[in-house]
Amino acid sequence: MTGPEPRLRAVLNTLSSRPRAMTDSIYRAHANECPYPPVRAVIESVNEAGAAMNRYPDDRCSELVRAIAEDLLVPTAHVAVGPGSTAIVQQLLLATVEHGDEVVFSWPSFERYPTLSAVAGARPVSVPLRGPDQDLRGLAEAVTARTRLIFIGNPNDPTGTSVDRRDLDVFLERVPSDVLVILDEEYQESTDAPSGPDGVRLHLERPNVAVVRSFSHANGLAGLRVGFAIARPAVARAVRRTGLPYAVDVMAQAAALASLRAKAEVSERVLALRRERDRVAGFLRARGWRIPAAGGNFLWLPLGDRSAEFRRACADLGVAVHEVHRTGVRVTIREVEANNLVLFVASRFSAA
């Protein structure tokens, strides 16, 4: 049978495809994963939950919602759980934007903001960073009558910088109350910025603020996909309504619960990762590299036009790193061996 091919959405032709999997790399420093496996209690809970995989999971994630609410001291009505923070971002977009509305974010930032905004029918509006930092004044000035959503990475991926609490307060005073501001705190456990905002507390003060967090990084559950939003009840309810049914499977729910209950052990691993991050950053700074204050489980190397060369040099040693075209390289903190290979490559480059 011949004839026209199925008609697909034209916007898909403007979107970048997923990068090629780095299957030939020994170390995955291009993906912001935890280098440690889940704690033993999590593995045991997953093994036990697997026996129930013939049944649909709790669609409301009731037990996990209660545990998150207790951990963060918020009402359960403020918690919405989904299959990863990226899915939560998409659900927030589906809950807020109509065709032609605008979504504002810094750039470079999380690479899925423009893609998911366009797929939702919105017009992505990117505001350039000021050095490694987000330009909150520029973000506020980009708001128009069509703006429905603003994303603020805290810390920002890929540069790792956090916003200042006082600067954020000034920014929020300038944003209309009917524009939803998302604090993307996916790497919140790894940040130690003393002047950074507490998004969870802030959403209690401002109805148009919501927070996105993840179990992927500090908790080491990237392969199971669990994330959540903290928002006022109307927004949290909208996030739940735009999600797929049964999206968070039984093993993911069990793992997230067990990880919350093993918080002390998880915190110890986060501290170890921070120490390793600071060791790597200190090595580079001592040799003249301008490394921004890091708030995530990664470092930003502002290499500019040399970014691709650096990425290739790391790949030759079996380390995959994330290149932002002609801007810089994001290096996830991995095992000591992987980090030392990156430092070896960096020692062959003049300081950036």
Q: Tell me how far apart the alpha carbons of residues 214 and 5 are, in angstroms, rounded to a whole number.
A: 39
As a whole number of angstroms, the distance between CA 187 and CA 196 comes to 13
Choose among 136, 221, 238: nearest CA to 186: 221
218 shares its domain with 306: no
Q: Looking at the structure, do residues 52 and 171 belong to the same domain, yes or no?
A: yes
In a domain, residue 4? The reply is: no
Query: Do residues 249 and 326 both lie within one domain?
Result: no
Task: Tell me the pLDDT of the chain averaged across its residues.
Answer: 94
Residues 167 and 111 reside in one and the same domain: yes
Among the candidates 232, 262, 292, a domain finishes at 262
- pTM value is 0.94
Is 186 within a domain? Answer: yes
Q: Could you report the per-residue pLDDT of 30-62, keeping only the tens digit for each?
A: 999 999 989 999 999 999 999 999 999 999 999
Report how many domains make up the chain: 2
Specify whether 210 is located in the same domain as 307: no
Residue 352 located in a structural domain: no
Does one domain contain both 305 and 190? no
pLDDT one-digit tens code per residue, 181-192: 999 999 988 887
Helices and strands (H, E) in the chain, number of each type: 12, 11
C-alpha span between 300 and 68 (Å, rounded):
31
At 327, which CATH number? 3.90.1150.10
The last residue of one of the domains, among 262, 286, 313, is 262
Residue 1 within any structural domain of the chain: no
Instruction: Report the C-alpha gap between 302 and 331 in whole angstroms.
Output: 11
3-state DSSP assignment of residue 42: helix
Contact present, 326 and 334 (Cβ < 8 Å): no
Q: How far is CA 345 from the centre of its chain?
A: 27
Q: What is the pLDDT of residue 23?
A: 55
15 touches 118 (CB < 8 A):
yes
Tokens, residue 317: 């040693």
> What's the domain range around 332?
10-38+264-347
Rounded Cα–Cα distance for residues 310 and 331 (Å): 11
pLDDT interval class at 202 (50, 70, 90): very high
- What region does 97 belong to: left with phi over 0, alpha with psi -120 to 50, or beta? beta
Residues 246 and 108 in one domain: yes
What is the DSSP annotation of 204-263?
HH-TTEEEEEESSSTT--TTT--EEEE--HHHHHHHHHTSPTT-S-HHHHHHHHHHHHTH
Q: Is residue 210 domain-resident?
A: yes
* 211 and 281 housed in the same domain: no
Q: Please check whether residues 160 and 18 belong to one and the same domain.
A: no
CATH number at residue 208: 3.40.640.10
253 and 342 inside one domain:
no
Residues 33 and 157 in one domain: no
Q: pLDDT tens digits for 204-218?
A: 999 999 999 999 999
- The packing angle between helices 263-286 and 336-347, to 10°, is 20
Q: Is residue 214 part of a domain?
A: yes
User: Is residue 257 domain-shared with residue 280, that is, in the same domain?
Assistant: no
pLDDT for 162 beyond 70: yes
193: nearest Cα among 162, 222, 216, 214: 162
